[in-house]
Amino acid sequence: MIAPDQKLNIKTESNGFDPIPADKYTVEVFDVNMVTQFNKFQGIEQELLNFQFVILEDKKMDNGDSTKGRFLWKRCSQSFNKKAWLRKLVTAVLGHEPTEDEQRNFHPHDILGKQVDVMVEQQPSADGSTIYNNIISFAKASKQLPKWEGLKEANAKKDIHIDGIGGKKKKTSPEDIEKILADDEIPF
């Protein structure tokens, strides 16, 4: 039972992330998965490649947060036709249009860890209640940045906090965080 005087931290927003500003970002291709999505034009379910990117640049947002370590996603059809997002992404990674041989031998895992520049826009939802970030173009990375270290980077900063009982913030050691994540006993 919750005590009447227990301080709670109830979110009042739909999610805890503000959209990143519309801008150009250098990103790393972080992950790729298959997702199924209904194609309203063809009237069928399609399997798409869902690429996950992590922003490598430390640009400050209006709320003071950094863009570094934020994720973006782009769904791509499994096609190399001239207008396909997959072709645009692979072209940016390679720095040239993929040859027929490169297209035939392509596997999505080939580009994991590679860096590209993306242009991102902010797009409001149909009802205007949410703003989404959309990748609207890919380009060859204008500069190579250090690879994203994820949890190692956060540990080095020692800025990860986990809410304790009663809503009090407790500074958690990097070892505690790794144990929590490894045990899958996240306390929220």
- Structural domain containing residue 130: 23-140
- Please give the DSSP secondary-structure letter assigned to residue 99: P
What is the overall mean pLDDT for the chain?
Answer: 82
Among residues of the chain, what percentage have pLDDT more than 90? 61
The pLDDT of residue 17 is above 70: yes
Question: 42 and 95 in one domain?
Answer: yes
| Encoded tokens for 9 | 């931290």
Question: 177 and 104 in one domain?
Answer: no
Q: What is the pLDDT of residues 45-78, one digit of tens each?
A: 999 999 999 999 999 999 899 999 999 999 999 9
Residue 87 pLDDT: 98
The pLDDT of residue 154 is above 80: no
Strands 161-163 and 71-76: unpaired
SS3 121: strand
Question: 177 and 108 in one domain?
Answer: no
Residue 9 pLDDT: 66
Q: What is the pLDDT of residues 165-188, one digit of tens each?
A: 333 334 445 555 555 555 554 444
* pLDDT (average), residues 138-164: 67
Confidence band for 151, pLDDT divided at 50, 70 and 90: low
Lowest mean pLDDT among 22-26, 90-94, 167-171: 167-171
The pLDDT of residue 96 is above 60: yes
- Please give the DSSP secondary-structure letter assigned to residue 129: S
In-domain check, residue 40: yes
Question: 134 and 159 in one domain?
Answer: no
Question: 70 and 119 in one domain?
Answer: yes
Distance CA 60, CA 67 (A): 6
| Encoded tokens for 75 | 């769904």
* pLDDT (average), residues 14-18: 66
The DSSP result for 17-82, as a single string, is -PPPPSEEEEEEEEEEEEEEEEETTTTEEEEEEEEEEEE---PBPTTS-BSTT-EEEEEE-S--ST
In-domain check, residue 2: no
| Structural domains in the chain (count) | 2
Q: What is the pLDDT of residues 157-167, one digit of tens each?
A: 434 333 333 33
